[in-house]
Chain A
């Protein structure tokens, strides 16, 4: 079936480095993608979204890139901070009815 997945389960970076978290999706008809951050003991928190008619979208310290040709999106975090340590999920809003989540990537930021 259709799925949204992640390449790496854990990413370790040094404070101040840029982080890149990748996500592959299989539904070529996907319209909309969201990145969520989940800190320990909390619910997922919305970070940034992107529609399928866009290639790039920027937020505060975060950028999402969408490559529809290879069905891949990435989340870039600039100047990663210890507070960025969390699990990051990409999600595909399939047919705008429900979110399909990947299994997540854990980002570990070392001081």
Chain B
């Protein structure tokens, strides 16, 4: 089954304790992205990657890191989490991106990771 998986689905942690949220897709997609979803603010992009070893900042990258060592995996790293990073996080992937004419561009989303930082 074609899907985007995230782990963990739920995480409660304390300020300053490094954590990683994993994301994996089995669709051979080149483009992957991380979003956070907060009430009243909708989905905001944190980081995106157009291919292996190619990553770039989205709208709200502060406090986050990513890596793309393999095509299928795109982990999100919080080196020193803070309470303002409490949110619902989504990983997404798509076959095509920007400069690739024709698309398809629709992004497929994972089930989400609810993170609480106390």
Contact partner, A43, options B48, B98, B109, Cβ 8 Å? B109
* Cβ-based interface call for A45 (8 A): yes
A-side interface mostly: strand
User: Shortest CB–CB separation between residue B68 and chain A, in angstroms?
Assistant: 16
User: Shortest CB–CB separation between residue A29 and chain B, in angstroms?
Assistant: 14
A36 contacts which chain B residues (CB < 8 A)? 109
Q: For the side of the interface on A, what is the size category?
A: 20 to 34
User: Could you give 5 example pairs across A and B, Cβ below 8 Å?
Assistant: A42-B112, A45-B109, A95-B98, A97-B97, A99-B33
Contact A49 B105 (CB under 8 A): yes
Besides A43-B4, A49-B105, 9 other CB < 8 A contacts? A41-B111, A43-B92, A45-B109, A46-B107, A49-B106, A97-B97, A98-B33, A98-B45, A101-B43
A47 to B78, CA, bound (A): 32
Residues of B62-109 at the interface with A, using a CB-CB cut-off of 8 Å, are 90, 92, 97-99, 103, 105-109
Contact A89 B42 (CB under 8 A): yes
Contact B40 A43 (CB under 8 A): no
